[in-house]
Structure 1
Amino acid sequence: MKKNCILVALAMLGTINVWADDVPKDTLKVVDVEEVVVIATPKENRKLREQPSSSTILSQQDMRDNQVTSLKSLTAVVPNLFIPDYGSKLTSAIYIRGVGSRINNPSVGLYVDNVPYMDKSAFDFNYADIERIDVLRGPQGTLYGRSAMGGLIRVYTKSPFTYQGTDLRLSAGTYNQYSASVTHYHRVSNKFAFSTGAFYDYAGGFFKNAYLNKKIDRSNSAGGRFRGIYLPTENLKVDLNVSYEYGDQGGYPYGLYDKTTGKTADPAYNEESKYYRNLLNAGLNLEYQGKGFTLSSVSGFQHLRDRMFMDQDFTTDSLYTIVQKQKQNTVSQEFTFKGGSDKGWQWVAGVSGFYQWLKMDAPVTFKESGINMIQGYMDQAMAATPVRVKILDATMPVYGNFDTPTMGAAIFHESTFNRLIWDGLSLTVGLRADYENMEITHDTHATLNTQTYMNGSPMGGVTANDYTINGKEKDDYWILLPKFALKYAFNNQNNIYASVSRGYRSGGYNVQMFSDLIQKQMTSQPGSTTSASVKDVISYDPEYAWNYELGSHLTLWEGKLWADVAAFVMDTRDQQIAQFSPSEMGRMMVNAAHSRSYGGEASLRANLTDALSVNTSYGYTHATFIDFNDGTADYKDKFVPFIPKQTLTVGAQYTVKGDEHSMFDEVRFIANYSGAGKIYWTEKNDVAQNFYGTVNWKICTSIGNAQIDLWSRNFLNKEYNTFYFESSSKGFAQKARPMQFGVDLRCRF
């Protein structure tokens, strides 16, 4: 082993590798990932490509070849999937088929080892020991409920019963990027196996704050994972998974955007912004296999504690800042019962529930320019009177404390009837009933010291004005989520299907609206009233969607070719759209009345020869508002923002195998082109990112139990924007990361 590692180190100057130890070496045959890696899913009786649903499966080798190192790396690798890489780990906005979410509850669900991750703040985590990713497109509400309206991402970690030994990974890249991970997999006996590992990631940052003259997006993160699997009897499995991650991240690299020239300036603002996160996840899977049935229990716990410091105006002016602190605990429990034979009736039924405690402190501090802004509003409100009120404070904190517990419960059933009328034809029907209850106890208060003047002469002394908004709001609702699917299987590898399904995204509260309400109290003329209640201002409704789909999964050319195609129409009601609040101090969610998206997607994998393989995926989505008027403008027929019309990935791999005289076992050359666009950033459709594409490549060398990967991302240094927003009548954008080079070293002991 030492000899192999020494040879790898000597070869580092000129070669590299993708380690193919986990995938069969016969490259002429397209590998069936679901056969190679057996994944236990408590809700399904069939392999994913045998189901009437549009899906993509990524093996560990697929992730390495496409340089998927986090959730945000999946953009365009999966058709019609877009995850803009901006902000911090607090923000993981996922868009599929015309629906998505920038803030609050997600529209696309995430499950890790069958345990739901309820909050987007927990989505962006380290992928050091990930074995496989499944992406299901279209509503998955019947089996998965809330937050699976656009689709579902399922992540699976490596099983210590499948993998043995110790994996060591070291990586270095330009812009001071370094990472290391080590994981040990050990089978103690035929009944017990465990894995334990740790990682550390460091990034020096890609962008500089021109005003502070320092890197703005540097980051540190470290953590680890333990997984233990115990098989006390032949038909019982106990699977425990615990992970922890700490992150210290800079942000946010937003620069002024010029609509005339289309240029984005370097970030330049005066208040340093940061994001800190502590994330603990634990899951316990119990599975009992009886005669003709399987009973499963999945218990989950998530603890998230984070702090965000943000210069909200992103300029050199001292307007306002926010310090947001969250403490969240979530428990979830699901019981599923499935059974049936492959030739007759297959079914699954279950009940689930969750409870989430979320406490948030989010004080907004008005600085010098912000106080001047409020002073201007006051002067304008009293312009017709001889009275003037002068603010005496240099700064003013607006304190916000929010307690938002949420609970939900569901019961569901799905049946598949095979051999319907004739062999190969099957019908799937399902129904889920979801109940959700949410509350908010809020307390927002501020004090402003003022002096009143009458015709220029002071009246009385200094007045301490106390502004307070507090109270409690509550909402609950029921929703039914049906599914119907008809599939015809030509054989066990080729099928065509049609499906109709419904999904939803839960409603909630806009906590950042309280600063606006306090400001209205301050600037309103004495004696004036507002007709809108607090609940009307802060609440937004659930979002619903029906998806109509026609698709096919094909395995052709004696297993050397995989093809997956689908066409869809998605009709969305009460679509949730993220906008800045009227004061532009915070973000808020509003409901668009009606939107519709239609399009298609296709994925292709083929091994043309023993040495050459190709893959491509393409997605098209046409998403527009059918009915949406927010009171300031009518957006009918406008494109829904943040939805790329097209996503595209084209890749190829060429393999050179070593012989008995070679110092290497295998060298692979991998290149791919990935792109997305056109993406409109606003409801007005007045700012957009045209279609862009990046070239990425790897040269991969394996020597025994060691490997080296030499890689480049955005090799042609393509310039484009990953995000855009407007605040204080200004536009801001985040640029894409520039060209990078790096090297990875992996060894197995």
Structure 2
Amino acid sequence: MDSKLYVVSALCFLPTMAVADSFNFNEKHLADTSRVYDIDEVIVASRPKDIQRLRRQAVSSTSLSASTLNSFAARDLRDVSSRVPSFVMPAYGSRYTSSVYVRGIGARVNSPAVGMYVDDIPLVSKSAFNTHIYDISRIDLLRGPQGTLYGQNAEGGLVRIYTKSPLQYQGTDVQMSIGNHFWRMAQLSHYGKAEGLGAYSLSAFYNGQNGFQRNQATGKRADNGNEAGARLKLIRQQTARTLISLTADYQWVRQNGFAYGDYDVATGRAQDPSTNLPNNYRRHLLSVGLNVNYKGRNADINSTTSYQYLNDNMQMDQDYTAQDFMQLHQRQLMNAVTQEFAIKNHDDNRWRRVTGAFFSYQWLRTYGPVGFGESMTGPMGNAIAGTIYTSIYSSTYNGILNKMIKDGMPEEVAKAKAKTAADKAVKRENFSMGIGIDVPGTFRTPQLNAALFHESSLQLSNRLRATLGLRYDLSRTSIHYDTRAIMTANAKIMGKEAVNTLTSHLDSRTHNTFNQLLPKLALTYDLGKVSQSNGGNIGNLYASVSKGYRAGGYNIQMFSDILQTELMANRMKAMKGSYDIPHSADDYSKVNNTIAYKPEESWNYEVGAHLNLFNEAAHLDLSAYYMQIKNQQLSVMAGTYGFGRMMVNAGRSRSFGGEITLRGSSFNNALAWALAYGYTNATFRNYNDGENDYRGNRVPFAPEHTLSANADYTILPQQSFMKSVVIGAGTTAQGEIYWDEANSYKQKFYALLNAHAKFGFKHFTVNLWAKNLTNTRYCTFAMDSSASRTKRYFGQKGAPITFGADFNFSF
């Protein structure tokens, strides 16, 4: 690789960060005020499937550099929300929840709507999306279906995260950060080269916080946590044509989460949580990837192999109240392998192409027992005892009454005497029922995915280029469930005591196989240069049609609801003795159909432009899209009792909208500014859940508007020990967000004001930052639940004003 070109690739401009500050431009660079650089403009590092740089592709995209992420103190993808048009990853309060919404599609559980790659390694588990990000070179966010090259679950778009390469960057970086609510972070990274071994990097981090909410029932902190991790990267030029890189990344998390408090539908505000049981999450996450690139005479051959491991443990007070109704305890153990081969021809301006194959297999075992507390079982026992009392009392009363009438007593006199005798013989206090319910369950859900893909980019004329792609994708999802509900009834009836057990045991296997063809067709028209004498490029226009899909699968959280329904239907049988509910083949068939959900499919029609304005002093990216969605996957509360969430296919929906990004610099590159806006109108076209028709309603959880505006001003002191000062401010905003398919309550549009001041010295920088300066009150999530036997509303409060300082040292 040409190291000079790689240095140039680092001199790229991004929103919210002035070029002069970000990369220490010298006076010669500052004299050129007519150019704003794209982050991917002259990237030399070849990516396995990139045949054009992003702003030359027919895709709506945004790239964020490390400097941009550092400027607004981004620690994970949740901090990117609203800064990228139509992209939201809400801060739901724990690393377990990794929901991403793009252009009106997304989900809280099961299959994600967005694909995610880290250093060209696909993350197969949605539970691994929400991680601490560090040592970042850049992040690419592509909107719209990317299924042709990236397959299932890239229906809404794609996130590509790239970490720093020790081939191009050497030295040691240290970052220490501190903030309010005792937020603290420490990161250490070293990049170097070893004779005969190649390049290497070793990084580690620690991150912790006390949080800003307390559990009102226990007085303990509700959202505190700690996490740590390390990454090792080795890169070796094995031969003149072969480059090998190995990456191992481990992260550990332990935190309190799921801080859902009472939510006021009228005001849209949530309280601090109040639960009697703990809500916490622990996770071990490991990803190991091996990338081998062979540069042949006519093509590059790339092989990417990965192993991924996830071991987590979640405890949730599932009624979200201070009463003891129910608790979910879920443990996941995942092992996964992926393998991808890609062959890409060398730069041929007439016909650029990439062909490849992909395979992945995921072993996933979930242990998910649900516990029912006294607040749930107590009323249940009282109701059963009351039913038995009523039955025996009625039988006793009628027996006495009939005998008295038969003996010739007048009916009215007999009724009074029979009631007196029955009241004396059958007393309500002599009837009690203690109920205990346990619902253990183990679920094995292996998944296989295999695909073949090809994409060609053909130069049809001097300015017109066509892109054609096709992917054949095969997926097989299986489930082996072994779960049961055990209800123990301790009956004390009129001096007699009996302990009976009612059991429902479900143990079965089933699977589904899905096939998909994912085509793509796009046209890109190059607008040429401003003039023959001026080399500035105007940009391009594009139009595209592409198909995307999300994998189908099985709901496991709804089994407690299924089993609870069976227990209630057979509860009286346990009064006669222990009883094991039988299940026929037809019963299992119904269960398998109930827990399954189909793949979601969509067609995306898009037009857009990537324009360079004012002799490339500003960049304007525009897009407008229309998306048709079939079998939309929607996360709803499970079944009869609402114990947990499940995925359902919500008929058809459509989504249309537009995105705009404008960025540039002024005043001799001292002022850098950026504006990003996305509009999404996602509506159900055909969805009826059997009780309600939601046609015309907005799709929940996806914001209608996303907006960000930022400006940074750079000062370069003359003859000073301080190299630069950057002062910046900006706003991020989003809304409206409906919280249910009935559109009965929502989060209104809200905006957050942020600011930072960065001081650069020779070997270190200090960045002072603040978020939500106006202390705006909002909710990142809200829901309703009937787990406590009555419908109640709960919400997750958004973060209040936060501020802190980052201290960065480079050697």
TM-score, with structure 1 as normaliser: 0.93
1:377-435 deviation line (CA, Å, top 9, x unaligned): 768999996699988556432101111111110011111111x1x31101111110111
Contact 1:17 1:708 in 2 (8 A): no
Contact 1:635 1:683 in 2 (8 A): yes
Equivalent residue number for residue 9 of structure 1: none
Equivalent residue number for residue 618 of structure 2: 561
Q: Match for 1:425 among 464, 482, 488?
A: 464
| Deviates most, 699-708 or 467-476 | 467-476
Measured in 1, the distance between the counterparts of 2:527 and 2:390 equals 79
Measured in 1, the distance between the counterparts of 2:153 and 2:451 equals 13
Give secondary structure in 2 for the equivalent of 1:634: coil
Shift of 1:452: 6.3
The one-letter code matched in structure 2 to 1:202 is G
Shift of 1:343: 2.2
Q: Match for 1:406 among 441, 447, 451?
A: 447
Give secondary structure in 1 for the equivalent of 2:243: strand
Q: 1:383 to 1:609 in 2, by over 3 A?
A: farther
Measured in 2, the distance between the counterparts of 1:217 and 1:657 equals 41
| Deviates most, 25-34 or 216-225 | 25-34
Q: 1:292 to 1:363 in 2, by over 3 A?
A: same
The one-letter code matched in structure 2 to 1:426 is R
Contact 1:108 1:149 in 2 (8 A): yes
Contact 1:287 1:295 in 2 (8 A): yes
The one-letter code matched in structure 1 to 2:481 is H
Equivalent residue number for residue 471 of structure 1: 508
Is 1:306 matched with 2:312?
A: yes
1:100-158 deviation line (CA, Å, top 9, x unaligned): 11111111010000000011211111222011000000000000001100000000000
Equivalent residue number for residue 490 of structure 1: 527
Q: How does 1:80-99 map to 2 (within 5 A)?
A: 80-99=86-105
The one-letter code matched in structure 2 to 1:412 is F
Equivalent residue number for residue 295 of structure 1: 301
Q: Match for 2:711 among 652, 663, 671?
A: 652
Q: Match for 1:514 among 556, 559, 572?
A: 559
Measured in 2, the distance between the counterparts of 1:545 and 1:381 equals 52
The one-letter code matched in structure 1 to 2:595 is I
Equivalent residue number for residue 11 of structure 1: none
1:446-501 deviation line (CA, Å, top 9, x unaligned): 32222569xx7588832122221111111111111000001111236611000000
**RMSD of aligned residue pairs (Cα, Å):** 2.4
The one-letter code matched in structure 1 to 2:616 is G
The one-letter code matched in structure 1 to 2:775 is N
Q: How does 1:148-227 map to 2 (within 5 A)?
A: 148-189=154-195, 192-227=198-233
Q: 1:292 to 1:314 in 2, by over 3 A?
A: same
Q: 1:392 to 1:38 in 2, by over 3 A?
A: farther
Equivalent residue number for residue 674 of structure 2: 615
Equivalent residue number for residue 642 of structure 1: 701
Give secondary structure in 2 for the equivalent of 1:226: strand
Is 1:440 matched with 2:479?
A: yes
Contact 1:344 1:417 in 2 (8 A): yes
Give secondary structure in 2 for the equivalent of 1:483: strand
- Structure 2: gaps of 5 or more residues: 1-16, 396-427, 529-536, 574-580
| Deviates most, 258-267 or 735-744 | 258-267
Q: How does 1:344-743 map to 2 (within 5 A)?
A: 344-375=350-381, 392-393=433-434, 395-418=436-459, 420=460, 422-450=461-489, 461-491=498-528, 494-525=539-570, 533-581=590-638, 582-610=640-668, 611-660=670-719, 662-728=720-786, 729-743=791-805
Q: 1:480 to 1:655 in 2, by over 3 A?
A: same
Shift of 1:260: 3.2
Give secondary structure in 2 for the equivalent of 1:567: strand
The one-letter code matched in structure 2 to 1:439 is S
Measured in 2, the distance between the counterparts of 1:230 and 1:635 equals 57
> Which structure features the higher share of helix residues?
2
Contact 1:648 1:674 in 2 (8 A): yes
The one-letter code matched in structure 1 to 2:694 is Y
Q: 1:727 to 1:151 in 2, by over 3 A?
A: same
Q: 1:24 to 1:543 in 2, by over 3 A?
A: farther
Contact 1:374 1:523 in 2 (8 A): no
The one-letter code matched in structure 1 to 2:671 is L
Is 1:59 matched with 2:65?
A: yes
Measured in 1, the distance between the counterparts of 2:641 and 2:383 equals 11
Give secondary structure in 1 for the equivalent of 2:483: strand
Q: 1:596 to 1:367 in 2, by over 3 A?
A: same
The one-letter code matched in structure 2 to 1:575 is Q
The one-letter code matched in structure 2 to 1:731 is Y
Give secondary structure in 1 for the equivalent of 2:647: strand
Measured in 2, the distance between the counterparts of 1:717 and 1:268 equals 23
Measured in 2, the distance between the counterparts of 1:452 and 1:215 equals 40
Contact 1:17 1:709 in 2 (8 A): no
| Deviates most, 617-626 or 524-533 | 524-533
The one-letter code matched in structure 2 to 1:681 is W
The one-letter code matched in structure 1 to 2:549 is Y
Give secondary structure in 2 for the equivalent of 1:536: helix
Measured in 1, the distance between the counterparts of 2:615 and 2:681 equals 35
> Which structure features the higher share of strand residues?
1
Contact 1:365 1:395 in 2 (8 A): no
Give secondary structure in 2 for the equivalent of 1:121: helix
TM-score, with structure 2 as normaliser: 0.86
Q: 1:657 to 1:595 in 2, by over 3 A?
A: same
The one-letter code matched in structure 2 to 1:348 is V
Give secondary structure in 1 for the equivalent of 2:70: helix
Shift of 1:33: 1.2
Give secondary structure in 2 for the equivalent of 1:599: strand
Is 1:282 matched with 2:288?
A: yes
Measured in 2, the distance between the counterparts of 1:376 and 1:624 equals 45
Measured in 2, the distance between the counterparts of 1:191 and 1:32 equals 33
Measured in 2, the distance between the counterparts of 1:434 and 1:23 equals 47
Shift of 1:39: 3.6
The one-letter code matched in structure 2 to 1:438 is T
Measured in 2, the distance between the counterparts of 1:390 and 1:725 equals 38
Q: 1:235 to 1:35 in 2, by over 3 A?
A: farther
Q: 1:601 to 1:439 in 2, by over 3 A?
A: same
The one-letter code matched in structure 2 to 1:709 is N
Shift of 1:211: 1.0
Q: 1:116 to 1:629 in 2, by over 3 A?
A: same
Give secondary structure in 2 for the equivalent of 1:73: helix
Give secondary structure in 1 for the equivalent of 2:521: strand
1:3-49 deviation line (CA, Å, top 9, x unaligned): xxxxxxxxxxxxx9999565756464422212465343101221111
1:292-341 deviation line (CA, Å, top 9, x unaligned): 21111011111000000110011011000011001001100000111154
Percent of paired sites with the same residue:
39
Contact 1:375 1:390 in 2 (8 A): no
Shift of 1:67: 2.7
